[in-house]
């Protein structure tokens, strides 16, 4: 997809920015962002023990769910650095220009404070508040946007479309849908996955070929201070982890 002129990305910068966007809360932005960062971080350790991690997870929201999660993971087991900007502008841009940084995975909050007066062809409906400005900075920096969507949970479908049509496509931001929290395992749920994929195809939305399956382990991970790379060695944990390894590999192929 060609970049629009207003998104003249600084090609000299080394860091690639992968951001999760989805208007609706609860589709899996934070879960997916933390675990993609963990897998990428594991694959890109610091060059020396004292060097900063080349992979950074970034949160921009005021409540800082990423921060809460990351704080629970013992420092020596966290394979990425993290920053939470709390809406402070310019921090992400600075980070993206840091030559030591290779990947920035951004977890964004859902957005509800849509400008009700926004024209349908306005560049975006985010409005003018500080949260909107923080989102615009992320959009400006993003090399690949990922939009999580949950099969059967139709409440996540229209907001995904809205996110894509109102935020991403008008800016020419490359994006993929991530089918998340898929309850795999039966013929019926296999049909749910196919339906979700067809939903994407009908709209011309490419999706990551690897869906993220639903596992209790993922839901318990924030409380336990874990990311996929710390899951215990069990068959279920291996499958839960496999999804994120494949997703991260797919993302690397796109940036």
Which residues here bind Mg ion, judged by CB under 5 A? 29-30, 65
Minimum distance, C-beta of residue 244 to ligand ATP, in the bound complex (Å): 9
Polymer length of the chain: 255
Query: What CA–CA distance (Å, rounded) separates 196 from 23?
Result: 18
Query: Does 27 interact with ligand ATP (rule: CB under 6 A)?
Result: yes
Choose between 29 and 103: whose C-beta lies nearer to Mg ion. Answer: 29
CA distances from 237 to 35, 74, 242 (A): 13, 19, 8
- Does 244 bind ligand ATP (CB under 6 A)? Our answer is no
The nearer residue to ligand ATP, 10 or 236, going by C-beta atoms, is 236
CB atoms under 10 Å from CB of 172, counted, come to 13
Q: How far apart are CA 252 and CA 245, in angstroms?
A: 11
CA 150, CA 32: separation in Å to the nearest integer? Answer: 12
CB 254 within 8 A of CB 17: no
Applying CB under 6 A, which part among 158-166, 194-202, 211-219, 247-255 lies near ligand ATP? Answer: 211-219
Quote the least distance from Cβ 246 to Mg ion, whole Å.
Answer: 22
Which of the stretches 86-94, 127-135, 215-223, 227-235 binds ligand ATP when contact is defined by CB under 6 A? Answer: 215-223
Residue with Cβ nearer ligand ATP (177 or 212): 212
- The residue (of 56 and 240) whose beta carbon lies closer to ligand ATP is 240
Q: What are the b/e assignments for 114-130, b being 16+ CB within 10 Å? A: eeeeeeeeeebbbbeee
- 193: helix, coil or strand? helix
The string of DSSP codes covering 22-56 is: -SSTTSSHHHHHHHHHHHHHHHS--SSTTSPPSEE
Helices 65-72 and 216-224: angle between axes, nearest 10 degrees: 80
- Distance between CA atoms of residues 75 and 193, nearest Å: 37
Site string for ligand ATP, 218-237 (x = CB under 6 A): xx------------------
Give, as ranges, the residues between 65 and 124 that touch ligand ATP (CB under 6 A). 65, 109-110
Restricting to residues 139-178, name those near ligand ATP by CB under 6 A: none
Q: How far is the CB of 2 from ligand ATP (least distance, A)?
A: 29
Query: What minimum distance in Å lies between the beta carbon of 208 and Mg ion?
Result: 19
Out of 15, 17, 19, 31, the residue judged to bind ligand ATP by CB under 6 A: 31
Of 29, 103, 166, 241, the one binding ligand ATP by CB under 6 A:
29
Binding site for ligand ATP (CB under 6 A): 22, 25-31, 65, 109-110, 180-181, 212, 214-215, 218-219
């Amino acid at each position: 997809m060609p970049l629009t002129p207003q998104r003249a990305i600084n090609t000299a910068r080394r860091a690639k920015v992968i951001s999760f966007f989805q208007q609706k809360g609860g589709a899996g932005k934070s879960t997916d962002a933390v675990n993609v960062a963990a897998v990428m971080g594991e694959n890109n350790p610091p060059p020396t023990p004292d060097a900063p991690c080349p992979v950074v997870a970034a949160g921009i929201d005021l409540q800082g769910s990423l921060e809460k999660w990351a704080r629970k993971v013992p420092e020596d087991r966290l394979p990425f650095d993290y920053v939470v900007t709390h809406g402070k502008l310019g921090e992400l841009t600075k980070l993206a220009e840091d030559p030591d940084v290779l990947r920035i995975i951004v977890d964004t909050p859902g957005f509800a404070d849509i400008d009700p007066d926004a024209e349908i062809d306005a560049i975006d409906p985010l409005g003018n508040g500080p949260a909107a400005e923080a989102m615009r900075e992320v959009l400006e920096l993003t090399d690949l946007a990922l939009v999580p969507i949950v099969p059967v949970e139709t409440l996540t479908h229209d907001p995904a479309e809205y996110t894509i049509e109102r935020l991403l496509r008008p800016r020419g931001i490359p994006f993929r849908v991530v089918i998340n929290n898929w309850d795999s395992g039966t013929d019926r749920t296999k049909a749910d996955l196919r339906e979700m994929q067809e939903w994407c195809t009908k709209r011309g939305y490419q999706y990551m070929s690897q869906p993220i399956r639903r596992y209790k382990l993922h839901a318990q991970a924030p409380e336990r201070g874990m990311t996929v790379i710390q899951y215990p060695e069990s068959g279920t944990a291996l499958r839960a982890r496999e999804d994120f390894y494949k997703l991260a590999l797919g993302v690397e192929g796109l940036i």
